[in-house]
Amino acid sequence: MYGRRVKVTTRARGIASGTRRALILAPRRRCARSYRDGGTDAHARDRMRALILVRAAACCALILAAAAVVKTDGNQWRRPQRPLATSRGWSTTGCPCSNASLCAPIQRPGPEKVYAFHVDASTNGSNADWRSFDWSQISTLCLYGSLSPELLCHAHAHGVRITLGDGGTGYDFTDKAAHAWINRTVERVQSMHVDGINIDLEINNCSGRIGNCDNPDGWSSEAMANLTRHTAALTTALHAAVPGSHVSFDTPSLGLYEEGADGRGCGYMYGRNYDFKGLADAADFLLVMDYDSNDPALNGTFNKTGQYNGGYNPWRWPGKGPFASSGQGYANAGLGVIAQGVECYRKLGVPTSKLVMAFPWYSYNYQCEDRGAGELPPPVGAADDDWCRVVNASIINIDGAESVAIRQRIMADAIGGVRWNNKTGTPYLYYKAVPGAWDAGRIHRLDFDNPHSLALKAAYAKSVGARGVGAWTCDIIDYSNTALATAYWDSFKAFT
């Protein structure tokens, strides 16, 4: 889906290069080939034995040298993305903290408080927005990108877990791929002294549906069963190797579906027909992405081609479903959609105690179809559920540091000021693109969340007994605006 596509491409997966793995495995492979290529006569075999001993010694020297290079390369503490898998237990060898106890895994039972996503696309963990986070509320920080030693030590000093974003086995659901992934992942968690893994696979199993598909023919039920089984195997292995660790699995809100509209219904949002109950049992909990749960097709408000954002087709049938013509399809994640998702999980046998509900700290900007010169949106308070016929959509971080000037201009140009949708519990506004813009004069609808709407979501999560709440992403707002940043973090207090 369009929003999730942005999410995936902006996450800098991994921590560093696979240099160590390449340096260590290469000489091993050469040793193996030397042994296999031995001759058949006795003299040749003797020469080959001698050659094997020489090459084996060289291999050992190369392995030790490669390990030394990784250990001593530069002053920055960086761990390889895919360290060589071993069966060793957790240790504090190479701990970057002045207090080695801070490299011990966090062992804290009970539910989550705030599960904070943090993205650092730098190569050395230089995004320091995390310094301004409200660490008194965070129970887990999930990192996509580079981990700095300072962040690791700071989080553990506050009793906060650090988990690493992980893409799983990709689209390879074989046992062979899973075995390698599990070994690699356990070693990665151990060597970086962190506390778990967040699996963000997001496959679209869209057989028989419209839209962007990772596999137009759909994934087999066997593949989905393997995905669940492999997740369970990882959880078991990680719990044994790293006490107190946890595994979470990212799943959609499940709030966008139509009972019987295409013969499917609950459990098939965005084509992801995972075994949600099985995954909830296999992992420690599900991370419910209560964002990108928008679809203007709900309002029947697409342009004539029914496409936007580079040709994205809606998953929904325009103008149908429980939220049709109600204006709820514009919101990034309206309360009605979130609530329907919770009910869907319950129908699938997933208790709310297994759900950590993450909400958006970013906005959607919709370009409306041109209705003719001079036509403006209805006045505040008048019905406008289907006024904006969407021709293009994009994500904007309206409260981000890079968007200060944009926010000021949009707010100043808002037609009728900021509006409120009681059905979604979210604010929105209309504005006209300024002269000089590529779409100058065109009307846009901006749907966003603010601390008030986020507090309503957190309160709802608490009312249904969710395991925790979170946000994508906590580094996305302008931390130079202390009052704004404080208000965002205070929105969690309705839950914590």
Closest CA to 39 of 50, 31, 47, 51: 47
Distance in Å from the first CA to the final CA of the chain: 31
Q: CA 137 → CA 162, 222, 291, distances in Å?
A: 14, 40, 21
Asked whether the beta carbons of 318 and 306 are under 8 A apart, the reply is: yes
Annotation marks residue 375 as catalytic? no
- Round to whole Å and give the CA distance between 286 and 101: 29
Using alpha carbons only, how large is the chain's radius of gyration in Å?
Answer: 26
Q: Which amino acid is at 3?
A: G
Report the amino acid identity of residue 71.
Answer: K
- b/e 305-341 (16+ beta carbons within 10 angstroms → b): eeebbeebebbbebeebbbbebbbbbbbbbbbbbebb
Question: What is the rounded distance in angstroms from the CA atom of residue 406 to the CA atom of residue 282?
Answer: 44
Q: Backbone dihedral region of 211: left (phi > 0), alpha (psi from -120 to 50 degrees) or beta?
A: left
Helix (H) or strand (E) segment spanning residue 165: strand 161-166
Q: Are 67 and 59 in contact (CB under 8 A)?
A: no
Q: Give the active site residue among 187, 202, 258, 375.
A: 202
Distance CA 358, CA 341 (A): 13
| Beta carbons of 197 and 164 less than 8 angstroms apart | yes
Asked whether the CA dihedral 313, 424, 389, 471 is positive or negative, the reply is: negative
One-letter amino acid at 27 equals P
Structure token digits, residue 443: 């009307």
Query: How is 127-169 classified by DSSP, letter by letter?
Result: --GGGGS-TTTEEEEEEEEPPPHHHHHHHHHTT-EEEEEE-TT
Three-class secondary structure of residue 220 per DSSP: coil
Where in the sequence numbering do the catalytic residues fall? 202
